[in-house]
Amino acid sequence: MAETFDLILRGGVIVNQDGIAEGDIAVRNGRIADIGSFRSNLAAEVLDLAGLHVLPGVIDSQVHFREPGNEHKEDLNTGSRAAVKGGVTAVFEMPNTVPPTVEEASLEDKLGRAREGMFCDFAFWVGGTRDNIDRLAELERLPGACGIKVFMGSSTGSLLVPDDESVERILAATSRRVAFHSEDEFRLRERLAERRENEPQTHTDWRDVQTALQATTRLVALARRTGRRIHILHVSTAEEMLMLAGYRDVATVEVTPQHLTLAAPEAYRRLGTLAQMNPPIREAHHREALWWGVVAGVADVIGSDHAPHTLAEKGEPYPKSPSGMPSVQTLVPVMLDHVNAGRLSLERLVDLTSHGPARVFQIAGKGRIAAGYDADFTIVDLGRRVSISNAWIESRCGWTPFAGTEVAGWPVGTIIRGRRVMWEDEIIGEPGGEPVRFLETLSPVAEPVPAEA
């Protein structure tokens, strides 16, 4: 008797490591069973994807979902709704919550909350601090942990680790890749007077190029000295991108859609404090250097740095206004617009949002369309033109810096482990997210039950 499947994705254009080609994808028990051509009567459900492109599920490795402690801005449920509405199938959430994720109990608390309320799959960064260095080797290997995150600038309390001695101790204590917010805290403190009240464009003057470059220069030297792997988040300067091309043995690189799309001073004139983020939106020549890094292969991943605040908070006069903007939901449409504009190929976008995260973070069973992998798919219509609106945003903050921007290319479906969770802008069913697994820290899981022949 012929093999049967739970789901067949019929006739879509599959974008994967071996190129772009039309085909069918068969799914069984939440995993990809086969790729080819299959009769419709072999599956309980068949989705006709003619004219649509099927990407490996998009993985956003940098989001701030604010729970616990700041649920008035966002929580794990609303953040995950934003993710799947935008075509994102898995997220890595940051540790600067209240309390911070710096020990096993706070990680377990987040995992429990996520299992109950998140629509997408998830993992959590554990904050590296001076106080938990002796426990990092254990903490980074806990189920549900994607690794250690260190703030060299732009944080408070124990999460701020500005000095080389402590950073070196953290690197020496860990074995997985460590992620860094790379801004020099000492220079930030020295330059506080560069901020001018009610002038958000001075955010770039305060957090200048040297603030980022000094921290990243220190980091790559420490990585070489300790023989450890580092991941530089939201690279924003031409100088860093050019330098990091010489450190591919130890450093991987993240860029954000915001830094690839917006530029000073226009962004600050148009958006005011809504354009305020750390590191800042910079002048156009920095943006062009980031695109050079994308084309030349220096950039490894795109992360959204989704960091929502309410409009009331963002409406405070600069510099009282908080830094950060919602962006997980707009990652895919903004980047598809760049694809349609010819700035990068669809294959390169897949490399940055699926293959790259899987490679950099050693994700188990995600990031490719291949037999045996999780059946995670981002379904997109490259021909659809849509004007992004605040009304479309699922984040609790209710706004986006891209409101009013017309994009070419749109996420029309999000499938996670064979289950449709978003289709044509409608979120389907109940939360069902599960922890992402990693090759370096595999924990036992139940084997899927084979379907009857």
Instruction: Return the active site residues.
Output: 305
Q: How far apart are CA 433 and CA 421, in angstroms?
A: 10
Residue 112: CB partners within 8 Å, gap ≥ 6? none
Q: How far apart are CA 335 and CA 88, in angstroms?
A: 13
58-72 burial: b if 16+ Cβ within 10 Å, else e: bbbbbbbbbbeebbe
Q: How far apart are CA 442 and CA 453, in angstroms?
A: 30
CA distances from 8 to 24, 33, 403, 417, 442 (A): 7, 10, 35, 13, 29
Angle between helices 209-226 and 164-173 (to 10 degrees): 40
Q: Residue 452, Cβ neighbours under 10 Å: how many?
A: 6
Tokens 């254990």 correspond to: 138
Q: Is 391 exposed, middle or buried (0-12, 13-18, 19+ CB in 10 A)?
A: exposed
CA distances from 349 to 44, 56, 102, 190 (A): 32, 11, 33, 39
Q: Residue 245, Cβ neighbours under 10 Å: how many?
A: 15
Tokens 């649509």 correspond to: 52
CA dihedral (277, 278, 283, 286) positive or negative:
negative
Answer left, alpha or beta for residue 66, where phi above 0 means left and psi between -120 and 50 means alpha: left
Q: Residue 290, Cβ neighbours under 10 Å: how many?
A: 23
Q: Angle CA(176)–CA(432)–CA(384) in degrees, nearest 5?
A: 90
CA dihedral (184, 185, 188, 189) positive or negative:
negative
Q: Is 85 helix (H, G, I), strand (E, B) or coil?
A: helix
